[in-house]
Chains A and B, each alone.
Chain A
């Protein structure tokens, strides 16, 4: 995430009095106190992450040229369905937003709102030069946003103008790696993630 972007908190805070905590959090807390419970928690987490990473549902959302390559990637030859990437038409059902193409200043609030409508956990792939930094529309231009990361936090940047479908697939695989390493459950306990676990 760039320094200029909005601050995003992805953790759910546990209230001071234990009465309002969710059952999952209570379970994690109990497990964590048991001898050897940490291993159990991380194992559960690995399974959850594995499931999450293998079923990333992106939002059907194309801005410009890169959307064509995104369609090709989901089309016949490249077939992103193999990786569990099934496009959804509404942000309420989506885990991932692929910002494919240049985003104008007029469009920026719409993208932000779409991102806000997505349920947690949510991820963003910035596809192509325009979404990453403005690309060929950086200079002498009054209408294009200089990078989508000024509006929403980006997890993976895919370079190219436009990136080939293979490049987008690589981006999705990188995102899967990132999801696999996440430590959501243990972070809820307010502890640092165990290194390499």
Chain B
């Protein structure tokens, strides 16, 4: 019997697709139902942020970092940009401001992971997860709004501190939220973690080994799910991360389920960090005096990194002594993780594309910048 003639099929996915989390285009080469190769086509959201930053002073760059970079973790982006400038210009930051920054970055991590969990739930057919996560995310938005005035883009951090002190009663509200949220987190575990459908869609799917993770430079929850205990908050502590106690969740399986568990555990740890910061936070100034808005950063270059919800976010800043940076290079965690995706997807079925793509939690604004 003559064998059937088969050939590879190229499937175009995106840029408009309900599950690509933005405007990602994937060129998938299929052999029957098996994935042979995946080639991401990026640049559909290239905002030329790095170039724009060269034309704006450091305070204006804070607002740009909110929007142009990873918009789901706006406050962490602000921290990344500010930290580079503060390191180079040696700006003193009051203690209270450092604590406030840490609280806000961890709240942002919660908000970002919640949105990821909700959309991942939709991807895998669990719509309830979306509704529950949005419910809790709104409470975090309320906390943000009470202090910064914004829900998504805050422009709250400043060179040498934060814009304003916390309003009265905010710390109690925040503490109340944290305790409420820990209960809700148990509820998510009950809904998803033991769910056989959820496990069937994620367990053993899209495995990235430890060596591959290192070779691709994967970072954040993707690397930690592959057994790589790497967290900038522990390895290069900034703000007050060296004064609070928290665990870095690490799993060795490297599959979608492990990445899910890492983020779930990170949410618990983030809540712990917030509660500790609220207890330790001293009274006092929140903004260093005599830091001009158009600060002139002395000549030199610096590379700083922060741990964004997606991983290791680095800023390489080169200054020639002017009011604006001479060059800003953003090392985006989503960009690196997207590259690792090509390896993760090889050999899996076409139905797993969405499960694997959702599990690495990329934001296209972070990939393209």
| Residues in chain A within 8 A of chain B (CB atoms) | 59-65, 67-69, 71-72, 75-77, 89, 91, 101-102, 104, 106-107, 110, 114, 136-137, 139-144, 161-162, 164
Contact = CB atoms under 8 A, between A and B. Distances in A.
Given A76-B138, A77-B134, A89-B18, 19 more contacts: A60-B18, A63-B22, A64-B364, A65-B365, A75-B135, A75-B137, A76-B132, A77-B135, A101-B45, A104-B46, A104-B47, A106-B46, A110-B16, A114-B16, A141-B51, A142-B51, A144-B48, A161-B153, A162-B152
Contact of A140 (B16, B43, B51, B72): B51
B47 A77 contact: no
B44 A68 contact: no
B130 interface: yes
Interface stretch (B62-70, B234-242, B269-277): B62-70
Contacts of B56: 140
A90 to B, nearest CB: 9
Contacts, number: 102
Interface string B176-218: 0000000000000000000000000000000000000000000
A164 B365 contact: no
Nearest to B64: A136
Contacts of B298: none
A194 B322 CA distance: 63
Nearest to A88: B18
A64 B365 contact: yes
Query: Interface of chain B, helix or strand or loop or mixed?
Result: helix
Contacts of B138: 72, 75-77
22 contacts: A61-B16, A62-B22, A63-B23, A63-B45, A65-B71, A68-B115, A68-B152, A69-B152, A71-B118, A75-B130, A75-B134, A76-B138, A104-B43, A104-B46, A107-B23, A110-B44, A137-B67, A140-B48, A140-B52, A140-B56, A143-B47, A161-B153
Contact of A64 (B15, B18, B71, B119): B71
B11 interface: no
